[in-house]
Structure 1
Amino acid sequence: MSSRRVVITGIGVIAPGGVGTKDFWSLLTEGRTATRRISFFDPSPFRSQVAAEADFDAELHGLTPQEVRRTDRAAQFAVVTAREAAADSGLEFTGVDPHRVGVTVGSAVGATTGLDWEYRTVSDGGRLDLVDHTYAVPHLYDYFVPSSFAAETAWAVGAEGPATVVSTGCTSGLDAVGHGAELVREGTVDVMVAGATDAPISPITVACFDAIKATTPRNDDPEHASRPFDGTRNGFVLGEGCAVFVLEELESARRRGARIYAEVAGYASRCNAYHMTGLRPDGREMAEAVRVALDEARLNPEAIDYVNAHGSGTKQNDRHETAAFKRSLGEHAYRVPVSSIKSMVGHSLGAIGSIEIAASALAMEHGVVPPTANLHTPDPECDLDYVPLTAREHRTDAVVSVGSGFGGFQSAMVLARPERSTA
């Protein structure tokens, strides 16, 4: 089996407050928040009424009326960002054997927006016990099968190699890119279009998180509602979005003179086998994922220049992560900058891991660490350097990005400059 090195050569992003990679990065470096009162439907019946919505117009961003008609919002995100990533990479996809180009798309909740809307339509707003299927959109089947996300993305770039969907809850975005990188590394494909998408801001999703009190009820101040690592935090802010990458083998990318954002140097995933939503306070499983990812990258903990945290803004997660960083990085955990972009773009479930990979790669590209917005009152139990409020100029040669998801999933990815020195 070959062991090729895998790099990111193209990035596409749709995020709250920033459609397109340039606007996304501007939002982060300026420390602006994109959280607001939900506008997609009347949120007044719900406990949590705030979210981070993307200002996305499908036709304005290049989708045809037919593409809009047959696809859920999350699939639309994936197609638009795949096209952006392909253009950004400078790779002529028509010149690559399509059987050597693959797609992997992560999603936690699939076509939630479309399914919610179609149920309301066929049930006449929930008034019919026996629904009338004749009112449904003709492509309803595609909403039921998340594999349609991979199919639409493959069609967008002409990929005829492996096409898969990864659904591991809130680590889906990390796991999808990790899986894509492995296919390139082992030689199954030469190019992967990999990332994750979710558009979960719908009544059913809001109701589900209300039921377990996971989302914030801070409805009177949406802009400051997402407060990772802050002592006054009281739940996460739901978001939506997508990030997609072009992954290539390093030497092939160099031969064609591609811009290389970062190498996917290490990746690992673990499960705590403990509780559907609970986390052990010692952070052992996340720490193990970080350790294995570092080993694969052949880097010591001291080589890490920035940690992109899961940082959801729940007390359980923030304290679990803090313990995991101390456990995996040792004393270096107190020296390395750590931040959570969920403070600005919310938690887009399966998509957020890929969006955070984009933020990490751009941090390396620009030598700037994004801040943790709204961090005014640090939690004494979260005593690391969480880059409060303001972005920081900081040369970054290696980054750890982590994710934590319901079901006990814990994932970590190491991005590094290809010319780095290894342990």
Structure 2
Amino acid sequence: MRRVVVTGIGVVAPGGPRREEFWNRIVDGKPAMRLIDAFDPTPFRSQVVAACDFDPAAYGLSPQLVRRTDRFGQLAVAAADEAMADSGLDLRAVDRERMGVCLGSAVGASITLEDEYVVVSDRGQNWYVDHRYAQPFLYQALVPSSAATELAARFGAQAQAAVISTGCTSGLDSIGHAYRLIQDDEADVMIAGASDAPITPISVACFDAIRATTPYRDDPAQASRPFDAERQGFVLGEGSAVLVVEELGSALARGATIYCEITGYAARTNGYHMTGLRPDGVELGAAISDVLGQAGVAPDQIGYISAHGSGTKQNDRHETAAYKRALGTAAYTTPISSIKSVVGHSLGAIGSIEMAACALVLQRGVAPPTANLTTADPECDLDYIPLVAREVEARHALSAGSGFGGFQSAMLFSRLEEAA
């Protein structure tokens, strides 16, 4: 079985334009939430978001790329540029036929699609829209593959360019798919991650309708409260994280800096409800147990868990039950936190952002806190690292995620020497 390692990390997240700023923000536990300023939020129940302060030109994105690419694609390009630079790969020496792309997204180019519909329908007044008013790159917005192909063209990747869209587990599943491709000898290097930019009126309205997002707006910094008894829902966010994942022998041969090894990945579907979760957490627990079995890691060897921790009662209690089911008594002593308390919930992107956090935890020995966790929900009685970061001796870091559609995924990163 070919072994797979992480050699590059790029992050564009709320409150942190690049990887190091993102890391400092989550370790400090300083939430990056604010009231919606991209459009008039007054008609909406939920008015707080976690938005990126993103200037495409500052990231070196050309006006032509910006014109043809939705914001979610621009975020992906910026994160991929940072990840590739961090990896130290010399593209002149890489066999491009052995390098691929796997990008996840839950809602794709939703900003462009909504903006263009407003124009061609004259703000919804015309049932038969006038296509003459549409921008010339509308097709790229329509197909979710646009961002993956943009990355493939940017770096000359000629192996598979895949798109993974499994709701809020897209970011985990995209890295998992890349991991499998390298294991199966279909590629040596994969540019893997996810991106989403869902802060649009229609997305906000959709989550309003099912009351998944928080109505709290008095102090935006306190709006995201995973595992807290006073939580009222999640905070919609945006962002991207891209990892360079590489076959171990290739990475060692070129002297790459290795963050960690991917030692397990598993996914389940609950076959239960489009948005509902079983309270016993059986499917997520099964995914976690599968991952540990693949890695040969005992529950008490996990040094840190990056929780899905969305801040809804249904998810937080389901996830807590899943940890207890999969880890047994070790669930009570394992440090766990939700970085959604700081960067919000960027739908498909968040899984990759959380895996970036796991890699950095293993490298730096510090676990970020769950911000705003002041009064724990009695039914969420695990060690969710309230308020203050903690030094950890983590040899293995787990991340778990749940997505609308019943998706349940888990992934394990390990220090390379421990996996060996």
Q: 1:133 aligns with which of 131, 134, 137?
A: 131
For 2:73, the equivalent position in structure 1 comes to 75
- In the alignment, structure 1 residue 391 sits paired with structure 2 residue 393: no
Q: 2:47 aligns with which of 43, 46, 49?
A: 49
The alpha-carbon deviation at position 81 of structure 1 amounts to 0.9
Given that 1:150 and 1:165 are in contact with CA atoms closer than 8 Å, whether structure 2 keeps it comes out as yes
Q: 2:199 aligns with which of 175, 198, 201?
A: 201
Distance 1:185 1:83 in 2: 24
What amino acid sits opposite 1:23 in the alignment?
E
Given that 1:82 and 1:157 are in contact with CA atoms closer than 8 Å, whether structure 2 keeps it comes out as no
SS at match of 1:229: coil
Given that 1:104 and 1:164 are in contact with CA atoms closer than 8 Å, whether structure 2 keeps it comes out as yes
What amino acid sits opposite 2:275 in the alignment?
T
Aligned residue runs from structure 1 range 182-197, under 5 A: 182-197=180-195
For 1:407, the equivalent position in structure 2 comes to 405
For 2:334, the equivalent position in structure 1 comes to 336
For 2:304, the equivalent position in structure 1 comes to 306
For 1:275, the equivalent position in structure 2 comes to 273
User: CA-to-partner distance for each residue in 1:66-116, whole Å, 9 max, x for gaps?
Assistant: 000000000111111111110000011221111100000000001001111
For 1:245, the equivalent position in structure 2 comes to 243
User: Structure 1: which 4+ aligned runs deviate by more than 3 Å?
Assistant: none
Q: Please identify, of 189-198 and 152-161, the stretch whose mean Cα deviation from structure 2 is larger.
A: 152-161
Question: Per the alignment, do residues 59 and 218 of structure 1 end up closer, same or farther by CA in structure 2, a change over 3 Å counting?
Answer: same
SS at match of 2:400: strand
Question: Per the alignment, do residues 70 and 322 of structure 1 end up closer, same or farther by CA in structure 2, a change over 3 Å counting?
Answer: same
Distance 1:156 1:295 in 2: 37
Distance 1:105 1:94 in 2: 23
Structure 2: gaps of 5 or more residues: none
Root mean square deviation of aligned Cα: 0.9
What amino acid sits opposite 1:147 in the alignment?
S
The alpha-carbon deviation at position 365 of structure 1 amounts to 1.1
User: CA-to-partner distance for each residue in 1:367-393, whole Å, 9 max, x for gaps?
Assistant: 100100000010001000100011111
For 1:361, the equivalent position in structure 2 comes to 359
SS at match of 2:86: helix
Aligned residue runs from structure 1 range 104-123, under 5 A: 104-123=102-121
The alpha-carbon deviation at position 298 of structure 1 amounts to 1.3
Distance 2:127 2:408 in 1: 40
Instruction: Tell me the TM-score normalized by structure 2.
Output: 0.99
The alpha-carbon deviation at position 124 of structure 1 amounts to 2.0
Distance 1:279 1:161 in 2: 36
The alpha-carbon deviation at position 252 of structure 1 amounts to 1.6
SS at match of 1:10: strand
SS at match of 1:164: strand
Distance 1:107 1:274 in 2: 23
Distance 2:92 2:271 in 1: 45
Instruction: Tell me the TM-score normalized by structure 1.
Output: 0.98
For 2:34, the equivalent position in structure 1 comes to 36
Structure 1: gaps of 5 or more residues: none
For 1:380, the equivalent position in structure 2 comes to 378
Given that 1:86 and 1:157 are in contact with CA atoms closer than 8 Å, whether structure 2 keeps it comes out as no
Given that 1:83 and 1:157 are in contact with CA atoms closer than 8 Å, whether structure 2 keeps it comes out as no
Q: Please identify, of 214-223 and 169-178, the stretch whose mean Cα deviation from structure 2 is larger.
A: 214-223
SS at match of 1:43: coil
The alpha-carbon deviation at position 130 of structure 1 amounts to 2.3
Aligned residue runs from structure 1 range 148-227, under 5 A: 148-227=146-225
Given that 1:305 and 1:396 are in contact with CA atoms closer than 8 Å, whether structure 2 keeps it comes out as yes
Aligned length: 420
| Percent identity (aligned) | 61
Distance 2:120 2:221 in 1: 36
Distance 2:337 2:91 in 1: 35
Distance 1:239 1:45 in 2: 19
Distance 1:194 1:309 in 2: 20
SS at match of 2:417: coil
Distance 1:268 1:365 in 2: 23
The alpha-carbon deviation at position 127 of structure 1 amounts to 2.4
Given that 1:214 and 1:236 are in contact with CA atoms closer than 8 Å, whether structure 2 keeps it comes out as yes
What amino acid sits opposite 1:157 in the alignment?
F
SS at match of 1:243: strand
Given that 1:264 and 1:416 are in contact with CA atoms closer than 8 Å, whether structure 2 keeps it comes out as yes
User: CA-to-partner distance for each residue in 1:9-55, whole Å, 9 max, x for gaps?
Assistant: 00010100011101100101111100110111111100001100000
The alpha-carbon deviation at position 421 of structure 1 amounts to 5.7
SS at match of 1:257: coil
The alpha-carbon deviation at position 394 of structure 1 amounts to 1.1
User: CA-to-partner distance for each residue in 1:184-233, whole Å, 9 max, x for gaps?
Assistant: 11111110000000000000000000000000000222110000000000
